[in-house]
Each structure stands twice: as structure tokens, then as C-alpha cells.
Chain A
Amino acid sequence: MPRHEVVSPIPGVFYRKPDPDSPPFAEDGGTVSDDQAIGLVEVMKSFHQIPAGASGTLVEFLVGDEDEVDAGQPVAVIEID
């Protein structure tokens, strides 16, 4: 199955939840759609949602919640349907 790497276009801190009290945007092994957000990157006090970019199964997150990411860094892997 083709794999798609979700890349953060910006550097910052990666979050898996929209806010601390909410469930994660996506679960490991969960199904995601193309335009669905799978995480949030905080850069300079502003928040940017990271869309899946492909529909399929989110097989793995490559970074943890609150990990720092660089621009262009892959943050998750999707197996495309």
C-alpha cells in the first residue's frame, strides 16, 4: 500500500490535541481523510493545523505530543486507501 508522510510546513511545537482537555485529532491506526487535521503546530504564539493530506489509515506518529518539529519534518505516516 502506498504510504504518505505528513509533513509540518513550519517549525514549532507539535500537539496531537486541539486543546489539553479534548481528545486527539487522530488515533494511531485510525482512519483519516485528506483534509482532516491530524495535529497542530504552535509557532510564535499562533496555531496552525496540519492536514492529513491523504485519506487512509494513520499507521504511525513520528513525533510525540509537545515535541519540537522543524519545517519540512515528517510528523506522521498514512497508508493510503
Chain B
Amino acid sequence: MKKLLVANRGEIAVRIIRAARDLGISTVAVASAADADALHTRLADTSVDIGPSPASKSYLVADAILAAAKDSGADAVHPGYGFLSERASFATAVADAGLTFVGPAGPVIERMGDKVAAREVARAAGVPTVPGTPGGVADADAAVEAARDTGYPVMLKAAAGGGGRGIRVVQDEAGLRRAFGQASTEAQKAFGDGTMYLERFVERARHVEVQVLGDGSDAVHLFERECSLQRRRQKVVEEAVSPGISAATRDAMTTAAVDLCREVGYTSAGTVEFLVDDTTGEFFFIEMNTRIQVEHPTTELVTGIDLVAEQLRIAAGEPLRFSQDRIERRGHAIEYRVNAEDPTKDFMPQPGPVGRITLPAGPWVRCDTWLEPDAAVPPYYDSLLAKVVVWGIDRDEALTRSRRALDEFTVAGIPTTVGLLRELVDEPWVGAADFHTGTLEQWLAERKET
């Protein structure tokens, strides 16, 4: 691997370019019209214009990316997260063009990206899954029959859904009968596939995910991340490791994640997501993300392993550099996602020009961003401005440094979520890690009322 095309933008493009430079790999950025002068285009060795500003006309156009790779002489493509990163056909097209795709092969992405197929893989590997139907249910009668085993409340989920879309919670048989037809029709419209399946709904659930690395013949884990602080199923604060599970659960969950990777011969970095029932301590496989995650820096700070560099090494054909017993963790890391949104206006996205900015730095603070003074936040892409990641020898020290880091963060010109994140750090329930996936939204609702 000599020349890497980074098929993404924003902070993750910057992050990938930095890893490539550390490994002596030259880099090709791609840019839409809105990003013509963005940081990632200037950090890369060269940059290729791939089309108009909307992502659907640039970053999501596989042919434009492939043409850019060919024209620039790149021999590898890193998809980052979002955009084309989990599109199996893109991974296959990259390989068919004679280039290296930094990630698993198309068929693996396809298998793990289909929720029903992924659960079948999990069962085959002996990994616990949420009680539910093994596959799609044919109709409302079949759903009602299946719900006798899962119990209520139960979730009705679209097999082709994602990001929280295509999910309904029903409380009883009558509710299930009412919801089934409409949910299936909506899934058919939204995703082109009306297949629905059932899953037990866990009231107090934590979202805990295991970071894995595989080279196709072996796999290791890099411990877990706690991502329960969410708003509208979007993660807001993440930490490594989870403050909410026992050592026994950690051992069992990380082992399960590695077993799952071995079952599919997983290649590259990946994340195995679990739902933890906070009441019983049971954990269940939800899905696997076959790409680098937004919150990967927390794992990097506690393990000292550069996950993007490892992705590049593995893609270049090197075997895993670490056996499991050589992967250690130290201390605690917390990531805060600072978004260009106005918390006082129901988190309305706020693009626009920014003026002076101050980014946090100093001891044990990492800030991954694309933001620069006098930049403009484009309206076309997600609202992530920066990730503030803080390390401490324990969780309390990480929280203390978080206060300092978030206090330093200022952006003139647009509202951001940084003040809200700073407020969160002082909440006693955050300090005590007493939360589940619904807690942040409950807190926001209560805060709004007062």
C-alpha cells in the first residue's frame, strides 16, 4: 500500500490521513464543492474534486470515488464511517477495480449488515442474541405466535432498517396486530424490504460495544465502550471501558465478540454491539459495524493502539501484530461529541460561518476535528464539529479533566452543544454512571420543563 484514497470528509478524513502519514503512505483526499478548501484536502498530499456539495452527488457516488482513485493512482481506499463505508457493493467495486478496500470484503459487510443474517451468525457462534424470532415473520399471526416466546413489551423491527429507523415497541397482542401491517408497508417503502422481525424490548438497557480487530484467520478484542448516553439513538458521550458492567460480564462479552469474528473470518477493525439488561446483567448481540467508529479514540487512549493504522496494516496483508494477552488497558477515556446544534431550539442544526475558535488541548486531552478559525460549517453533512476525548487514570480523573477541556472549547458564530456537554459532566447520575439508553432523553425533557 503506497497511496491511499480517503473516501470521506470531516474529522474522520483528517484522522485517517494522519494515520497514513504515520505509516509513510501517501494520501489522496476527495472533496465536494463545499469542502474545496477543507482541512482534509490540505493535509492530504493531493485532493480530487468529486462533485457538487450534496453528499448524494459527491461522497455517496461510488463511481466518482473510483474514478478519483484511478486518476490519482491510488492503490487503496479507506471509506471512513458513514457514506459508502458499509455498502457491500462499494467494497466489491473497489476490489474489482484492482484496489485494496480498507475493511472487510463485500460479502462479509453484506452478511453482517443484514440484521437477520447477522443474528444467525451470532447464534452459530454461540453468542447470545436478544430473545426474538430467528428471521423474518410472515404475517401478523406469525408475529403474535412468536411473541408468546419473547414476551411483551416487544419490538417490531425492519430487517433492512438501521440507525433506529423502522422500529416500533408494542405492549400487547392487540398492539402488535395493529402495528404489523403498517410497519411492514413503511419498511417496504423506506428500505425496499418489508421483512419484519421481533425482539424483546429491554426497559433499562445499556449500549455496550466491543472493539475487535481481525486479519481473516484470527481476531482479538480491545475491550469495550459504553455508549448509553444517546439522544434519538445518536451517541452523545462514549467511554472506554464501560463503568456499568461487571468483570465477569466484560470477560464473557469480549470473548463472545471474538468468537463472532472468528465465525465470519472477520478482517479489519469492527465493532460488535451488545445490549446489556441493566436489571439482570444479561447481554445480547445487536449488530456489528464493519467499519471504524466515531468513538474509536476512547479505545485508542486506554489501549495505546492506533486503530486506523492497524486497519491499514491489515488491509496491506499483514497479520495481527498483537496477541490477546499483549493487549492491555490503562485508565479511563471519555469522548464528547460537540455538534453544530442549538440545544435551546430542540437541537436544530446550525450551519454557517464561524469566527474565532479555541480548541481544548493540554495534558491528556485529544480533540479530533476538521474545524478551523473562520471556516464555514456546511449545511450538507452531519453536524459533528469535534470530538473532545479525555483520558484519566480512573473515571473520576477523566471527568475532572473533562470539565477543563470542555470549558476551554469555544466557537464564535454558531451555537454548539458544548455547554450542554459541560453541564452533563456535573450531573451526579453521570458521575455515578447510573444511566441507561433512555436516561439522557429523560434528563433533557425534565430540564426543558424547569
Contacts and interface: CB of A to CB of B under 8 A. Distances in A.
Interface of A: 10-13, 19, 21, 43-46, 48, 66, 68
Contacts of A46: 349, 383
A10 B342 CA distance: 13
26 contacts: A10-B348, A10-B349, A10-B379, A11-B352, A11-B379, A12-B351, A12-B379, A13-B379, A13-B380, A21-B189, A43-B349, A43-B351, A43-B379, A44-B340, A44-B349, A44-B351, A44-B379, A44-B381, A44-B383, A45-B349, A45-B381, A45-B382, A45-B383, A46-B349, A48-B348, A68-B53
A45 B10 CA distance: 14
Nearest to A44: B349
A12 B34 CA distance: 12
Interface in B361-386: 379-383
A13 B189 CA distance: 22
Given A43-B349, A44-B341, 11 more contacts: A19-B189, A19-B190, A43-B351, A44-B340, A44-B349, A44-B381, A45-B349, A45-B381, A45-B382, A46-B349, A66-B54
A19 B189 CA distance: 9
B382 A44 contact: yes
B interface majority secondary structure: loop
Nearest to A70: B379
Contacts of A43: 349, 351, 379
A38 B319 CA distance: 56
Contacts of B349: 10, 43-46
Contacts of A66: 54
A3 to B, nearest CB: 28
B329 to A, nearest CB: 33
A60 B316 CA distance: 56
Nearest to A48: B348
B178 to A, nearest CB: 23
A68 to B, nearest CB: 8
Interface residues of B, number: 15
Nearest to A41: B379
Contacts of A21: 189
A10 B135 CA distance: 42
Contacts of A10: 348-349, 379
Given A44-B383, A45-B382, A13 B351 contact: no
A21 B349 CA distance: 26
A77 to B, nearest CB: 24
Q: What 4 pairs between A and B have smallest CB-CB spacing?
A: A44-B349, A44-B383, A11-B379, A43-B379
B235 to A, nearest CB: 15
A55 B177 CA distance: 38
Interface string B311-352: 000000000000000000000000000001100000011011
A48 B349 CA distance: 10
A23 B378 CA distance: 29
Q: Indicate the member of A43, A48, A66 with the most B CB atoms within 10 Å.
A: A43
Nearest to B348: A10
Contacts of A12: 351, 379
B414 to A, nearest CB: 11
Contacts of B341: 44
Q: Indicate the member of B190, B379, B380, B382 with the most A CB atoms within 10 Å.
A: B379
Contacts of A44: 340-341, 349, 351, 379-383
Q: Indicate the member of A12, A13, A44, A45 with the most B CB atoms within 10 Å.
A: A44
A44 B190 CA distance: 20
Nearest to A22: B189
Given A21-B189, A44-B351, A44-B381, A13 B340 contact: no
A21 to B, nearest CB: 7
Nearest to A11: B379
Nearest to B163: A45
B111 to A, nearest CB: 27
Contacts of B340: 44
A21 B382 CA distance: 24
A46 B381 CA distance: 9
A11 B377 CA distance: 11
A13 B54 contact: yes
Nearest to A45: B382
B34 to A, nearest CB: 10
Contacts of B383: 44-46
A19 B165 CA distance: 15
A66 B189 CA distance: 20
A46 B348 CA distance: 9
A68 B54 CA distance: 9
B382 A11 contact: no
Nearest to A71: B352
A44 B339 CA distance: 10
A13 B381 CA distance: 11
